[in-house]
Amino acid sequence: MAPIVNEIQRNFNQEHAGLDFGAGPGPVVTKLLRDSGFTVELYDPLFWANPEALRTRYDYIACCEVIEHFHSPRKEFALLHSLLKPGGALYCMTEPYSEDIDFGKWYYKSDQSHVFFYTKDTFEWVRSHMRFSKLRIKGRLVQFYR
């Protein structure tokens, strides 16, 4: 959570509107940002089913340990792109897969709720096909810019 929160605080301020997409039952990113005076809406189809949150546009969106749960990544990334204001940023925290990882022993694939895994090439495909202007990968933090 800290890398997403730190990047948002570095690039945005309390005047900007944010969305914690896939916040889960304990929205830690939202709490940390709100404690710093940031305005953050919550959306999670199971825990914070708030359709109003999907009818506005945001300066930034946080997806902390969420994108590996997407059953339809193309659809979900298209939605996230549409929710961002021009110049906005999408911050995703996940564990990218690479060829140097032994998939059979990889802890990340053992979570049965993880249905999709990403590589650097996958992220580049998302950037290109979803019309994000820029992609930045920094360890487990993946950033898309509109």
Give mean pLDDT, residues 47-68. Answer: 93
The three-state secondary structure class of 56 is coil
Rounded Cα distance between 86 and 67, Å, is 22
For 99-102, which contacts have Cβ atoms below 8 Å and span 24 or more sequence positions?
Answer: none
Structure tokens that stand for 75 in this block: 């659809």
In DSSP terms, 141 is beta-bridged to: 93, 138
Per residue in 104-129, pLDDT (tens digit) is: 888 787 778 887 888 899 999 999 99
Judged against a pLDDT cut of 80, whether residue 36 lies above it is answered with: yes
Residues 82, 36: Cα–Cα separation, whole Å: 26
Domains of the chain: 2-105+114-145 (3.40.50.150)
Above 90 in pLDDT, residue 40? yes
End-to-end CA distance of the chain: 22
Q: For the chain, give the mean pLDDT.
A: 92
